[in-house]
Amino acid sequence: MTSTMETPSSAVLPPRNLSANPELGPLSSKILPHLFKLYGCSARAEDFEFYSPDARFDDPLMSAHGLNQIKSAFYSMQVLFQEGRIVEYSIEETSTGEGSGLVVMDNKQNYKVWGRPFDVDSRIQLKVEGGKVVHHEDLWNKKPLWSDPSNGIFGWLGYSWRRGAMITTDVLMGRGKDPKGRS
């Protein structure tokens, strides 16, 4: 199932009726409203409920293991960026069983840091099992992560850097503790 949409430039979140959109599959319709809040730098504790407690998150900067590290990664965006939002996206969902499958979102993210906007073209891949995301990958420029231990010594070094960045971020962000006013 594929769906393509564009969010208005003034919108931080997609249309309110996103979960009722008949073009979205059952996994996408439950996850997307929360995903938009995560990438919109406005995450609250309930926006992480679609993750498995032992889920993984990988992007070119970090490799998070477990829900608390994932929370730290997204809560840190609220500290780093003045604004954030997904401005364009298309969704493809493949079901592999009840509550399981793969959701792929090709998207364009817009952020503002120190008053300067910048865009990131991305492919978000969500592996879902039993209704919960077990692996979330954010592939910038839609390219696979080269910093993976299976890619030789340089891949291992890159992965070690991403893990170190995540552990540092996790400590600085209170190990996934929900900020006051965000629970």
Domains detected in the chain: 2-12+24-172 (3.10.450.50)
Rounded Cα distance, 22 and 149, in Å: 40
Residues 6+ apart with CB under 8 A from 67: 48, 51, 52, 53, 54, 55, 176
Report the chain (183 residues): mean pLDDT per 10 consecutive residues.
Answer: 48 44 82 95 95 97 96 94 94 94 96 93 97 97 83 84 89 83 53
Residues 6+ apart with CB under 8 A from 167: none
Q: What are phi and psi of 112, to 5 degrees?
A: -130, 125
Q: Which two tokens stand for residue 103?
A: 């959701």
According to the model, what pLDDT value does residue 61 have?
92
| Local structure of 100: helix, strand or coil | strand
Specify the amino acid at residue 47: D
Residues in the chain: 183
According to the model, what pLDDT value does residue 17 have?
43
According to the model, what pLDDT value does residue 104 have?
97
Rounded Cα distance, 98 and 106, in Å: 24
According to the model, what pLDDT value does residue 181 have?
59
Q: What is the dihedral of CA 140, 62, 11, 92, to 10 degrees?
A: 50
Query: Is the pTM above the cut of 0.85?
Result: no
